Structures are given as structure tokens and as C-alpha cells.
Structure 1
Amino acid sequence: MCQFLLRDARRSLLRPLRRCYSSNFSNQAIEIESGLQRELDGILNSFDAPITYAFGYGSGVFKQVGYDSADKPQIDLILAVEDPVEFHSRNIKQNSHHYSSLKYFGPKVISRFQDVGAGIYFNPYANINGNEVKYGIVSMKRILNDLKNWESFYIAGRLQKPVKVLKTNPTIEHYNHLNLKAAATLAKHLISVKYPEKFDEFQFYKEITGLSYLGDIRYHLGAENPKKVENIVTKNFDKFRMYYKPIYEDVVVNNGYYLPPGFTLKNSLKKIQYRIQRTSLTQMLKGVATAGVTKSVKYAWAKRMKSRSK
């Protein structure tokens, strides 16, 4: 009898814990159209190399105002892996055509090159299952460090906007929750300074989105649409609402507060701008080597034309 009571007691204790854990980060599970979901799953499952966490982003996954629906945009993916050397070793064997001439130096050199700057190695214009895909490989160590400490603000800034998670990881979800809370804390402060008379939810998401473009060298070169921030929020307002629902209640409604170590309301903008400026320049220079000259020119020209047409 005692054994049954003990077993029931254990079950009753575990049940609420499981519910709490599984629902904690449900806001990060953004839904998309089922056909696109199947396409993205197919792309991810096509890789033989192990992937720990993955998400899709950009106009190929979420629509933005001003993009022609007739022109199918490139699909952007980030793949987080435990061992970059192992990933590149297996991926070069399977998809050598995705890589530039750097592949001839081997996976160790590619992994060391990947670790420069924001710690991401991009393969753009890869044809996967008939889709044009740009995918970036990042180590779990670097992605977690960026979420915890805003080391480069590259992945942290990307994850502050709605993304489509394709492979979940509870550790990343936990630290991304803190990342979102930090972005919300800063956005709320910026609104209180700029618009002290009125708090506007749309502006709140604009401030969050704008953080990841502070100091981005692509804006100075005219490679980005100057209305990109507003376009992203306009087209994806409902997704922002879902993504930030528990964060909004915590920070805006209940006056919660969180910023990464070393960041304050006074120094955050300057620190973020410096890190993005440095990282965006490094990633741009890396892109020539990782993509090759032809693909780099093609990508830069496409971005330039896209920014001019909006």
C-alpha cells in the first residue's frame, strides 16, 4: 500500500514540473504554412551530419512587406552543431558542391575559419531539394555564449526576432528566453526615453528589431532596405506578439528586468553597436572566402537590388 502511495506521490510531483517545463517556451514554437514546413523539414533531414539545434529565418520563411511573391527568396537557416569539425567533415563528403575552394584545406581549417568573428560559416546558394538555401553553421558553445553574454550579438539579435525553430534544444530555449527578456527590457527603456507620454506595442517590437541592425555595416553600404525594420514588424506583428507574449507580460506589465552581465540601460546601445559593427565587417569579409567570389558578388548584387526596389 505504501509503495502505491509513494508512486502516486511521485507522479503528482512530476506532473506539474513536466507541464511547467513543456509550456515555458511554447512562445518560441512559431507555426508556419504546412507546405513550407514540409519543405524546411525536408531540407534539414537531408543532412547526414549531426545537427543539435536549427532554425529558419528571413523572407524565405516569414514574409516581409514589399517582397514580390512571384520571386521565391532564398531560404535562410542556422544549424547549431556540437562538433564543427565532424559536421564539416561529413558535410563535405555529402555536399562538397555547397563549399567554396576552402573545402580543399579540410574540415579543421574550415572550422577554425568559422570561429572568426561571430563564429558562423555560411554556405549560400546551395541547391537542396530544389530550393535555394543559405545555411550557416555555428557551434553550440558560440551560440550559447552569444545568448548569455551578447558576445557578438549576431545570433542573439537574430533570435530576438521571430524564427521558425526546426530542431529544438532545451538549453538554447532557456537562454533565448533570457535573451528575449533582455531585448524587451532595453526596448521598454528606449520607448520611455523617446516616447514618455505613450507606450506603443508596435514601436516596442520595432525597437527590439532595430537592436540587431545597430552599427551594421551593410546599412552604410546601402545593401539593406532602410525600411527593413518597419517592414519586418508590419508583416509579422502577430508573430512578434506570440513570440514575446510571456516576456511582454513579465517586462512591460509586471516591470520585470534583465540584462546580460556587464550591460546596463546606459551602456547597452554603445556596446551593442560596437559589437555589431565589428562582427558585421568580419562576416562580410569572411563571406568572400566562404562563398567564393562569384557567389559573393551574386549575393551582394541581389541585396543591393532588393534594397533599391523597396
Structure 2
Amino acid sequence: MDLAFSNSKERAKKNMLDFVFAVDDPVTWHTMNLLQNRKHYSILKLLGPAMISSLQSDHGAAMYYNTLVPVDGRVIKYGVISTECLIDDLMHWKSLYAAGRLHKPVKLLVQGDNGKLRAAMVANLKSAVTASFLMLPESFSEEELFLQIAGLSYAGDFRMVIGEDKSKVANIVNDNIEHFRILYSNILRDCPQVVYKPQQGKLEVDKSPEGQFVQLMALPRTLQQRITKLVDPPGKNRDVEEILLQMAQDPDCGVVVQQGISSIVKSSSITQSIKGIATAGMWKTVSYSAKKLIKMWKGWKRKPSISQTS
């Protein structure tokens, strides 16, 4: 196993713990897990480890989830992704499903000696900062930056319309503001395009066409392709650099970047959710969805803001 991490806060004892395991050989991993924890799987366990691994890698966001699993008096869910697919998402934002989770502070449980994976994790954080710079004004606060970063993987997610707490992004930042600072401080200090004033919690970014072009060129490949598709008229077939140079001078540059991110997330959230019905099974799907709806309703009744806790 190259990487295992959890997104859930340990202090929130009523929350379901959320784990993700990155494994080099999914077939072998599922073979062993089926022998030890067969009850974790839905009826798909009858297909065997090879088919489960194929379903994991070839559909949705390349992750296989087992949910509502009782372990040591707690309820957990855990996703399994191949190391290769994880690196691909971290570097290129193919689905932003795993990459988006790692934009936020997580608890690393296992970290193998994989230099390529470590480099991809850093590249993913830098991409999150760059994309957020393009969508923010010239001057902004740390909190505004972290809200933008935390919201990247929820932009375009249909579950944010129905099924998720509308205050989810604000809650993530409120509860983890110091962890966000630790995660991103070195990247912000080393970035030549931003003036970072950690003492005041303020930042100023280069919004000139030249500055925005550098940022656009540094975006992950899939996002560049989505932006190109959005702004390039059919039949023109201009190269990516030419299109991004034009975009850098457009006052709506940040809006188009947001639309590009939303298109990635929308596609992966739908396909992964459809796959989740099969991997969880109908009873667990209904139970899990009901819990989400209850959290969404509670979120409507309380609307926290950053100023309340920071």
C-alpha cells in the first residue's frame, strides 16, 4: 500500500470515518480483502476480485467504495484506488475526485516510499492554489483562499444541490484553518506571483494578462482541455497555448476556469455516484442517502461563517 488517508475528524465521534487506500495491485488487494472482510461488499462480491478491480478502475472516478462498515464500535467507509490512477488524478485532474480530497487537510495513516506519488501530491496542492488565484480578486484573505480551494472539488457536484450540507465547505475551513495554513504556507511563500503576508493573513496576486497566462499554463492538463473546449469555436482547432493567451486577457477568465472545473466535477460525481449504488448495495445506499439529507437539513438551519471561528 503506497498511501492511506482519512478525511474525517477524529473528535467528531458521531461522524462516519472516511478512509482512502491507494494500492499498487487492486486485484490482489481485493482478493485478500474478500477473504478477510467479505461482508463489507455488496452482491458484487460474487463477481470476484478481477471484476471488482475492473469496475473500480474503468468506471466513475477510478475508486471503489465500501460504506457503512462497522469496525471497533465505529462506522466507516473506505475507498480503494490504484496508485497509478491516484497519481493521474493528482497530476492532471482527470476526475478531481481523489485529487479534490487531497486539496484539504487529511490524516496520513500510511505513506509508502513512492517519490512519484509524493511529487504528485505536491503538484496537486500547487494546482489548487493556481486555479484559486485565477478565480479570486487581486487582494484576498487566507480564509477566502482556503474557501476557494476547499470548494474546488464540490463545484458542479450535483450532490451539493440535494444530499449535502450547504455549509459543508465553510465547515471544512472553519474546523481546519490552522491545518490549511500548515498545508499551503510553503507553497504560498515560494510562489513568485503572490505577495503573501502571513502575519496579516492577506495575499495579493498578479492579475495582469502576463501573470494570468503563466497561471493558466500551469493548470492541470484536463482543466486546460475543458477551458479550450468552452472557449474555442467549433472548427477553429487552435492550439491550447493560443487559446490560453487569449483567455489571460479576458475579464471573465476566472469564470471560465470555474466552468471548466465544474464540468470535470459534474461528470465524475454523477458516474461515481451511479457506481456507488452498485458497490454499496440498495439498502446501504438508501441508508447513507438518508443520513446525507438529514445533514443537509441541519445545514440549512445553521449557516456558519468564517468570522464565527477565526
**So what's the TM-score if we normalise by structure 1?**
0.75
Aligned counterparts of 2:140 and 2:17: Cα–Cα separation in 1 = 35
Q: CA deviation at 1:91?
A: 0.4
- Correspondence for 1:39: none
Matched, 1:151 2:94: yes
Q: 2:157 aligns with which of 216, 223, 241?
A: 216
Q: How does 1:1-310 map to 2 (within 5 A)?
A: 51-58=1-8, 60-61=9-10, 72-115=14-57, 116-169=59-112, 170-192=115-137, 196=138, 198-220=139-161, 222-251=162-191, 252-253=194-195, 257=215, 258-261=218-221, 263=224, 266=253, 267-310=256-299
> Percent identity, aligned pairs only?
37
SS in 2 for 1:236: helix
Q: CA deviation at 1:232?
A: 1.0
The amino acid of 1:161's aligned partner reads K
Q: CA deviation at 1:253?
A: 3.1
Aligned counterparts of 2:43 and 2:290: Cα–Cα separation in 1 = 21
Aligned counterparts of 1:189 and 1:86: Cα–Cα separation in 2 = 42
- Correspondence for 1:42: none
- Correspondence for 2:200: none
The count of corresponding residues between Structure 1 and Structure 2 is 247
The amino acid of 2:219's aligned partner reads L
Aligned counterparts of 1:124 and 1:180: Cα–Cα separation in 2 = 27
Aligned counterparts of 2:278 and 2:105: Cα–Cα separation in 1 = 29
Aligned counterparts of 2:26 and 2:127: Cα–Cα separation in 1 = 29
Q: CA deviation at 1:101?
A: 0.6
SS in 1 for 2:154: coil
> Any gaps of 5 or more consecutive residues in structure 1?
1-50, 64-68
SS in 2 for 1:244: helix
The amino acid of 1:79's aligned partner reads F
> Any gaps of 5 or more consecutive residues in structure 2?
197-204, 206-213, 225-243, 300-310
SS in 2 for 1:85: helix
The amino acid of 1:202's aligned partner reads E
The amino acid of 1:78's aligned partner reads V
Report the RMSD for the aligned CA atoms in angstroms: 1.8
Aligned counterparts of 2:42 and 2:156: Cα–Cα separation in 1 = 28
Q: CA deviation at 1:182?
A: 1.0
Aligned counterparts of 1:75 and 1:229: Cα–Cα separation in 2 = 18
- Correspondence for 1:30: none
SS in 2 for 1:229: helix
**So what's the TM-score if we normalise by structure 2?**
0.75
The amino acid of 1:76's aligned partner reads D
